[in-house]
Structure 1
Amino acid sequence: MSDNLNINKKYKTPEEVLKVLFGYDTFRPGQKDIVDAILDGRDVFAVMPTGAGKSLCYQIPAMMLDGITLVVSPLISLMQDQVNSLNEAGVSAAYINSSLSDRDLFETVKKTGNGEFKILYVAPERLMTEGFIELAKSVNISMITVDEAHCISQWGQDFRPSYMKIVEFVKILGKRPVISAFTATATETVREDIVCTLGLGNPYVLIGGFDRENLYFQVDKPKNKEQYILDYIANHPNESGIIYCATRKNVDSLYEILADKGIAAAKYHAGMNASERKQMQDDFVFDYKSIVVSTNAFGMGIDKSNVRFVIHYNMPQSMENYYQEAGRAGRDGLDSKCILLFSPQDIVINRFLLEHKEVADIDPADLETIKERDNQRLQVMERYCYTTGCLRNYILKYFGENHENPCEDCGNCNREFETLDMTDAAKKIINCVYEAKGRYGRGIIIDTVLGAKTARLKEVGATNYKSYGVLNSIKRSMLMRVIDQLVYEKYLVVGDYQVLKMGDIRRLKDSATSVMVKITDEDKRPEKARKVNKKVAEKSSLTSSGYKLFERLRELRLEIAREENMPPYIVFNDKTLIDMSAKVPTTKEEMLEVSGVGENKFKKYGDRFLKAISECCKELPELITKK
């Protein structure tokens, strides 16, 4: 930790801090607006991709504000790297976490109390300890910065219950400081969750563009992954790269293979002791070794700009994780490769890891929600590995950016696929969507044309459609490809909650117009029997009036969440609101039949939700008639 005491130096402008302390002449896009908002006393929430310069957005105003800035950070290695970098720049910074000896902790607390630091990094677990609360109340905290803010959201890919201590901590401070929150990857739902949970008041919000044009995305399915990697390294000599594996066992195995071939590689995982990890990390960062094989424990806060490739030996568990890890390539802006090596076994491995991941301090009532969201994210990654569309657009769409045209510069855009004429099947699917009147999603549409014998199809009357069973000889995966193509060509439109609606089909009336679908080898494989076991309604099963009720209930949930300064999912999760919208309860007894509504939840929220349902039923009487 540094004894540099720039703490008393007064800087006139953010540009002066940027130049004097950090050596940059100009801000990157978005940085100055965030800095200015903080200096104006506004809360800030920013989503900025890896390499966009998030740290400077809070470090610069920290140097200009009167008091100390607390930075809540989830990883010890990340704190240490940030503090070391700040100390090197001449900034008085320190950290408090479990890595400190008792003596170092005492010294750090003493210096903090004496006002010797401008920035103090702290682990979230430390915030509500008696000693830290006493320290916090004795100093002038000008800002609390929440790094990796997605960790506070149960919708996020890396939810950490310890992050909820931030909310408790802010409440006990006599004076509320400015709160700034940053993350690299967050969907719209996660963003909403962060703002609600942290209680950000009229925050300045920046959602940076997610596209990294210098990164080339590619998915390969080699028979032998180890040989693929050896060949790649041989064809790219002297290039620096990271190879991510899902398990420590895979890291150790691949590291041995590379070492046996005389390849200068490092390895990194949580099973190694701290000194070994530090040595391996330094060997890679300082280019003594050009390649590191690692679990996802490696990379947070590692600012190595010349990584030319990131190879994922296994499919990651979420798009958030994948994009953050892949984004460690090409931070210098030069062309770099992001390659994912996929095999169906990856799905099995990830499901096992998710089933056995740590759930300490998580309310058992929330576990089902977490598992459901983990599974949804895994499905997103699986579809990424199988898609024949533009990989870049797939990623950007997940984060809310829609691009009409393919990038023409990714593995899929540059790959030759087998193309089939699926015009007849496409027209039959369109007929089914027409009969469904835009009320259902892909699942029900595909079940209908396949002629599936499910209670849900019978309930909604789909078994009486003319299109029922008309495509029973075509594989489900192929029908998914056809629907994807119809959406891409705008013959169909995806509405709210993923329902399929009619688009512009006039071109299909021309007999010369065809619907051509690209397929892969996977589409030719025999299809496994599909298990159907849905006791609770899905969004795609709601009627149009049911969707309106669902939307009204979502608004009420958000209203309550903001009142109580908590994430919306704690009120009721989406599954509960969907079931509520399908069952339309009007009494306490009926409400308690809704999945996820227990006596305690009803006592807290039941009357307000019953009132909202009653009001909606007056506007939409068909809700009652269809009960």
Structure 2
Amino acid sequence: MNDPQSILKSTFGYDDFRNGQREIIDRVLSGKRSLGIMPTGGGKSICYQIPAIMFSGLTLVISPLISLMKDQVDSLNELNIPATFINSTLEYHDLEERMRYIESGAVKLLYAAPEKIENPDFYSWLTQLPIDLLAIDEAHVLSSWGHDFRPSYLNIIEPLNQLPSNPAWLALTATATNQVQEDLMSILNVKDENVIKTGFARNNLSLKVERGVDKFSYVLNYVKSHENESGIIYAGRRKDVDKLYDFLKDRGINVGKYHAGLSDEERHDQQEAFLFDKVDVIIATNAFGMGINKTNVRYVLHFTIPGTIENYYQEVGRAGRDGLPAEAVLLYTPADLRLHMFFIEQSEADDSYKQSLNVKLRKMNQYAKTEKCLMQFILNYFGENTTQVCGHCSNCLDNREVTDVTSDAQKILSCVVRMKQNYGKKTISRVLAGKDDVANDWRNFGQLPTFGLLKDWTLKSINEFIDFLVANGFLNMTNGLYPILKLTETGASALRGHTIIGRKNVVIPERRNSIVSDGSFDEGLFEELRKLRLNIAHAQDLPPFVIFSDKSLKDMSQKLPATDNEFLQVNGVGNAKLERYGTRFMDVIKEYQVNKSSTAKS
């Protein structure tokens, strides 16, 4: 087959390409160096897997995510696409056997860790292979502006450029700001016209921020109300993971945990239990989840705030990879920020890198405090200057009454201007509060008309109000070790009385009991199909999502296929899946309908 559309349907079981996929595939097939920037769950893998099928030689996929390799290889082999991986988990004899197998030409896709490229013997072996396509996954690790920069990975670019087969190149990432994009274009020699950005919006993902809640009670109630749904809970420290794990386990929750304090074997067992649906929810530090291809994660809770928006969006992107509705909830307390600031100061990084981390942390704090659309805030951060709101985040759905706080805001904005926009939040707060230590020093702040205008407020309240004004675009905070507050155009308009500033009170929004259920499919049949999927997965020692995604099971529960042709119309069902599983799943559907009919008659 030499038609990407035919391969998409017959092999992967999808009728249509997602946004950007076909454009990237066409560039790869024409041999152009390309960069694809797509959100997590946006379908990046197909962009190199379809060309790999079409090329006569080998596709080499460079990925820093060892855990992802096995999932990807298992999924490809289920589709009758020959694939394998080489990384540090292999024993010597397994490595030798795989290398001979690859040399035979029987493999279409080879996944390898970047560290292998730096090995002279392995690289020498690679130069003998007919490599037609080189795909670099998680490409943001190459950029010093990225949130997960790994300088050693830059060492592999020149050797890869020297591969004698002169393969096509494709780099892929889900988290690239404009700075990261420009950096990657330079490092990888990609031209502007070969950069495909599909946008970072995830329309099936509902973003929520909960402020001022009892975290343990919230998590317990949330997990109980989403019983039998897979979820990830991220916590900042190992002791937070252990404490929350014990708390939930003692209350009967089927829970696992993952952090660096566990042994390699324990981490592997916990990860496998989650992948194989043996536990419903896993509590983890951010070491967990990189490369986890589990498609049926319905929610991600952040028990503590991440340090960057890049990390946050990548982590929440692990929910809803099957395209069905998913939720991401951030539980916010200011104390979490102090923990991040401590870690930044204690790190051995140079001052400029610490400064960049502090800037990213402030942006993350603004996200947690904004009253704008949360998805819009993230899109703007990644350079998409959209005014469109998502309509389903906690801010968009927030129907609380708005209090006019223009007068108090003007006091703060005026103070920033009268202090010549040359001071930070701490000093401005103390001037507004009328503190003696700033009244009579050499700067004579006590003489300002704005001195003591908020003397009845606590410093904490003033600081929170300033954060609100920054998060909502009335003030801007400069970068640098000592950030300074500046008035924005919107803030200037409000100061002149041309813009009204409204603020909402803190309440706990309502939660839905079921994320996926929408009344459009038979949930009883869906559960029966899940049981069959689980039995097959255990028998084959594969994660259930490799057999079929939740989206495929939901589609079966709607379409009720009874013939091979009807089964092929199910989302995610190609010829290989039909041949392997069609009869068993259609038998369960038929039996369920007969039993349901008999029950209805009686």
Give the TM-score normalised by the residue count of structure 1: 0.69
Matched, 1:390 2:377: no
Instruction: Summarize deviations over 1:496-518 as a string: whole Å, max 9, x none.
Output: 9996454697898779x754444
- The answer to whether the Cα contact below 8 Å between 2:52 and 2:59 also exists between their aligned partners in 1 is yes
Q: Match of 2:351?
A: 368
Q: In the alignment, which residue of structure 2 is the partner of 1:288?
A: 278
Question: What letter corresponds to residue 197 of structure 2 in structure 1?
Answer: I
Superposed displacement of residue 49, structure 1: 0.8
> How far has the Cα of 1:47 moved from its partner?
1.1
1:404 corresponds to 2:391: no
Q: Which amino acid aligns with 1:293?
A: I
- Which of residues 282, 304, 308 in structure 2 aligns to 1:318? 308
- Which residue of structure 1 aligns with residue 121 of structure 2? 131
Instruction: Verify the 8 A CA contact 1:222 1:228 in the aligned structure 2.
Output: no
Candidates 25, 28, 33, aligned match of 2:23 = 33
Which amino acid is 2:410 matched to? A
Q: What SS does the corresponding residue of 1:339 show, helix, strand or coil?
A: strand
The one of 406, 411, 423 equivalent to 1:422 is 406
- CA 199–445 in structure 1, closer or farther in 2 if over 3 Å, else same: farther
1:259 is aligned to 2:249: yes
Distance 1:435 1:254 in 2: 46
Q: 1:428 to 1:344 in 2, by over 3 A?
A: closer
Name the structure 2 match of 1:170: 160
* Aligned twin of 1:481: 468
User: Which residue in 2 is equivalent to 1:379?
Assistant: 362
- Asked if the contact 2:143/2:184 (under 8 Å) is kept, the reply is yes
Task: Check if 1:15 corresponds to 2:5.
Answer: yes
Over 3 Å counting, the alpha-carbon distance change for 1:383 and 1:247 in structure 2 is same
How has the CA–CA distance of structure 1 residues 352 and 462 changed in structure 2, closer, same or farther, with 3 Å as cutoff?
Answer: closer
- Partner of 2:71, secondary structure, is helix
User: What secondary structure does 2:353 align onto?
Assistant: helix
Aligned to 1:237: 227
Larger mean CA deviation between 218-227 and 306-315 belongs to 218-227
Taking a change above 3 Å as real, the CA distance of residues 388 and 51 of structure 1, as seen in their structure-2 partners, is same
Task: Give per-residue Cα distances to partners, 1:245-268, cap 9 Å, x unaligned.
Answer: 222332222222222222112223
Partners in 1 of 2:123 and 2:19 — Cα distance? 37
Unpaired segments ≥5 residues, structure 1: 1-10, 360-365, 522-627
Distance 2:20 2:222 in 1: 37
User: In 1, are the aligned partners of 2:146 and 2:176 still within 8 Å (CA)?
Assistant: yes
- Equivalent position of 1:184 in the other structure: 174
Contact 2:410–2:495, Cα closer than 8 Å, also in 1: no
Match of 1:118 in 2: 108
Instruction: Work out the CA distance in 1 between the residues paired with 2:338 and 2:399.
Output: 27
Deviations 1:577-602 (A, max 9, x none): xxxxxxxxxxxxxxxxxxxxxxxxxx
Contact 2:369 2:468 in 1 (8 A): no
Q: CA deviation at 1:430?
A: 6.5
Q: Deviations over 1:168-206 (max 9, x none)?
A: 322433454222111111111111111112222456111
Rate the CA distance shift 1:349–1:415 in 2: closer, same or farther, 3 A.
farther
Q: Which residue of 2 aligns with 1:334?
A: 324
RMSD: 3.9
Q: What TM-score comes out, normalization by structure 2 length?
A: 0.72
Aligned partners of 1:127 and 1:166 also within 8 Å: yes
Closer, same or farther in 2 for the Cα pair 1:243/1:494, shift >3 Å?
Answer: closer
CA drift at 1:141: 2.0
Does residue 211 of structure 1 match 2:211?
no
Q: 1:503 to 1:327 in 2, by over 3 A?
A: closer
Please say which of residues 263-272 and 146-155 is displaced more in the overlay: 263-272
Q: Distance in 2 between matches of 1:502 and 1:510?
A: 13
Partner of 1:227: 217
Question: C-alpha displacement at 1:140, in angstroms?
Answer: 2.2
Any idea what the Cα deviations from partners look like across 1:330-377, whole Å, max 9, x if unmatched? Answer: 2333332211122233223334444566x7xxxxxx733332222222
* Kept after mapping to 2: 8 A contact 1:285/1:304: yes
The code of the aligned residue for 2:384 comes to E
The answer to whether the Cα contact below 8 Å between 2:359 and 2:479 also exists between their aligned partners in 1 is no
1:439-458 to structure 2, matched below 5 A, reads none
CA contact under 8 A between 1:388 and 1:519: conserved in structure 2? no
How far apart, in 1, do the equivalents of 2:318 and 2:92 lie?
35
The 1:482/1:32 distance shift into structure 2, 3 A limit, reads closer
Q: Deviations over 1:493-545 (max 9, x none)?
A: 9999996454697898779x754444669xxxxxxxxxxxxxxxxxxxxxxxx
SS in 2 for 1:385: helix
Give the partner amino acid of 2:374: L
Instruction: Tell me how far apart the structure 2 counterparts of residues 125 and 280 of structure 1 sit (CA, whole Å).
Output: 26
* C-alpha displacement of 1:324: 1.4
Q: Distance in 1 between matches of 2:267 and 2:490?
A: 55
Contact 2:366-2:470 within 8 A present in 1 as well? no
Confirm or deny that 1:73 pairs with 2:86: no
Mean alpha-carbon deviation: is it higher for 43-52 or for 322-331? 322-331
Map of 1:536 onto structure 2: none
Task: Give the C-alpha shift of residue 165 in structure 1.
Answer: 2.0
State the alpha-carbon separation in 2 of the partners of residues 148 and 213 from structure 1: 22
SS of 2:134's partner is: strand
Deviations 1:120-148 (A, max 9, x none): 11111111211112112212222221110
Shift of 1:384: 2.0
- Once the two structures are TM-superposed, the CA of residue 316 in structure 1 deviates from its matched residue by 1.2
- Percent identity reads 41
Deviation at 1:405, TM superposition (A): 5.5
Offset of residue 23 of structure 1: 2.5
> What secondary structure sits across from 2:127 in the alignment?
helix
Tell me: CA distance 1:506–1:349, structure 2 relative to 1, closer, same or farther (3 Å): closer
**Aligned 8 A contact 2:208 2:328 in 1:** yes
Q: Secondary structure at 1:181's aligned position in 2?
A: strand
The worse-fitting range, judged by mean Cα deviation, of 131-140 and 212-221 is 212-221
Query: Using the alignment, how far apart are the partners of 1:115 and 1:476 within structure 2?
Result: 64
Aligned counterparts of 2:77 and 2:323: Cα–Cα separation in 1? 26
CA distance change for structure 1 residues 354 and 480 in 2, over 3 Å: closer, same or farther? closer
Instruction: State which of 288, 293, 304 in structure 2 corresponds to 1:298.
Output: 288
Q: Report the residue type matching 1:426 in the other structure.
A: Q
1:242, 1:307 within 8 Å by CA — same for their partners in 2? yes
Q: 1:269 to 1:514 in 2, by over 3 A?
A: closer
Residues 1:402 and 1:67: Cα distance change in structure 2 (over 3 Å): same
How far off its partner does 1:425 sit? 4.8
Does the aligned pair in 2 maintain the 1:157–1:320 contact within 8 Å?
A: yes
Distance in 2, Cα, partners of 1:286 & 1:131:
36
Would the aligned equivalents of 2:295 and 2:321 in 1 still touch at CA under 8 Å? Answer: yes
The answer on whether the counterparts of 2:413 and 2:495 sit within 8 Å (CA) in structure 1 is no
Q: How many residues align?
A: 494
The separation in 2 between residues aligned to 1:336 and 1:48, in whole angstroms, is: 18
Distance in 1 (alpha carbons) for counterparts of 2:493 and 2:70: 61
The offset of 1:319, in angstroms, is 0.9
Q: Mean alpha-carbon deviation: is it higher for 34-43 or for 87-96?
A: 87-96
Correspondent of 1:56 among 28, 36, 46: 46
Change (3 A) 1:442 1:501: farther
2:13 counterpart letter in structure 1: G
Distance in 2 (alpha carbons) for counterparts of 1:187 and 1:453: 43
* Residue 447 (structure 1) shift: 8.7
Point out which structure has higher relative CO (alpha carbons under 8 A, 6+ apart): 2
